[in-house]
Structure 1
Amino acid sequence: MGESKRRKQSLGEDYGKEERFISWLPLSKTQAEDAFKFTTRGAWIGIGLLGATWVVVRFVGPTFGWWMVN
């Protein structure tokens, strides 16, 4: 009997199913990786928006304030 058949026999119904990230959490490893990629991309977008907002408040805002006074 080959290793594959032995593994299939020992796992039973779970053979061929993707392994879970945490045993009690219904989340597979692939789903956890996708969630990590999504949140990482969202964090970088947030950092970019924060930087753009800072530039507007720091440089553009005072310029328009000076324009309005004169």
Structure 2
Amino acid sequence: MGEAKRRKQALGEKYGTEANILPWLPIKKSQAEQFMKWTTQGSWIGIGLLVVIWVTVRFIGPALGWWELN
């Protein structure tokens, strides 16, 4: 008997189903990977927006005279 058949017999109905990250947390590993992908992409977008805002406030704003609004 091969290892796969032994594993299938040992797991029964759970064979082939995706495992949770933690037994008490109903989140699958693929869901966690997708969450990490989204949050990483969102973080890079946030960093890019922060740089654009900083450049605008630091260089473009004073060049256009926005600091003399009084």
> What's the counterpart of residue 23 of structure 2?
23
State the secondary structure of the residue aligned to 2:57.
helix
Structure 2 CA distance, aligned partners of 1:43 and 1:3? 42
| Unmatched tracts of structure 2, length 5 or more | none
Please give the residue correspondences for 1:1-70 in structure 2 after superposition, counting only pairs within 5 Å.
1-65=1-65
TM-score normalised over the length of structure 1: 0.84
Report the TM-score when normalising by structure 2.
Answer: 0.84
- Deviates most, 5-14 or 53-62: 5-14
Distance 2:33 2:52 in 1: 29
Q: Which structure's residues are more often strand, by fraction?
A: 2
Task: State the Cα distance separating 1:2 from its structure 2 match.
Answer: 2.2
| Structure 1, unaligned runs of 5 or more | none
Poorly superposed stretches of 4+, deviation over 3 Å: none
Pairs aligned (count): 68
**Identity in percent:** 60
What are the Cα deviations for residues 1-58 of structure 1, in whole angstroms up to 9, with x where unaligned? 2221211111111100011112211111111111101100100100000000000000
